[in-house]
Amino acid sequence: MAAACSFSIDEPGPLDLVGQNASWRYDDTSGIAAAGWNLSSFDDTGWKEGRGPFGWACAETTSLFWGDCPGPDNCENGSVLSAYFRHGFDFPFGSAEETASVDVQRDDGIRVFLNGSLLFDDHVEPGGGAVFLEPGEPIDVHRDIENAPFVDGTNILAVELVQAGLGSQDACFGLRLTALPR
Ligand SMILES: [Ca+2]
């Protein structure tokens, strides 16, 4: 008697790539983008390391130093506007252009790069600083980016978190990434 045989073909679901509490390399002290900081080839081993989310006054897991500001009421010269983050993850599904589904917390503005290409930005002036977050304005942003430039093997996310002005009383960065297969 032939064995009963049944199977089903499931639609592929979202692929979890980077979790909210992932470990990142980060530079929160220089305020200056190092040459090639957002490229896959950049050596970030000299940067600090910590788990997300990052920030201050933001229920963060890892507190940002944020320049010479020991607190929101004591920001003098040398404070910085930008902090930089890098995270590598494996994309074991072959080189493919998929839809990247990104949930970020950003205060004030953010630029997100994937393998050196700008994936998206939010709440920043073109080529410049961030736009002030109004009181009560959400810090959570969701974006779906079609044809994201994933590559086979190791991929590098690089993020610039930007404040709208020196002495900002809070800073937040968190990120979760999934891919939606076609
Ligand atoms: Ca802020």
d(CA 150, CA 145): 11
Q: Where are the domains of the chain?
A: 15-180
Report how far ligand 1's centroid is from the alpha carbon of 163 (Å). 5
Query: What are the structure tokens assigned to 57, written together?
Result: 């006054």
How wide is the angle at C-alpha 126 spanned by C-alphas 121 and 127, nearest 5°? 100
Query: Which residues place a Cβ less than 5 A from the ion ligand 1?
Result: 107-108, 168, 170
Note the pLDDT tens digit of each residue in 10-67.
Answer: 666 788 999 999 999 999 987 889 999 999 999 999 999 999 999 988 889 999 876 5
Report how far ligand 1's centroid is from the alpha carbon of 150 (Å). 30
Look at residues 159, 2, 171, 161 and name the one whose alpha carbon lies nearest to residue 82. 161
Across 79-96, b (16+ Cβ under 10 Å) vs e yields: bbbbbbbbbbbebeeeee
Entry pTM: 0.87
Q: Which fold has domain 15-180?
A: Jelly Rolls (2.60.120)
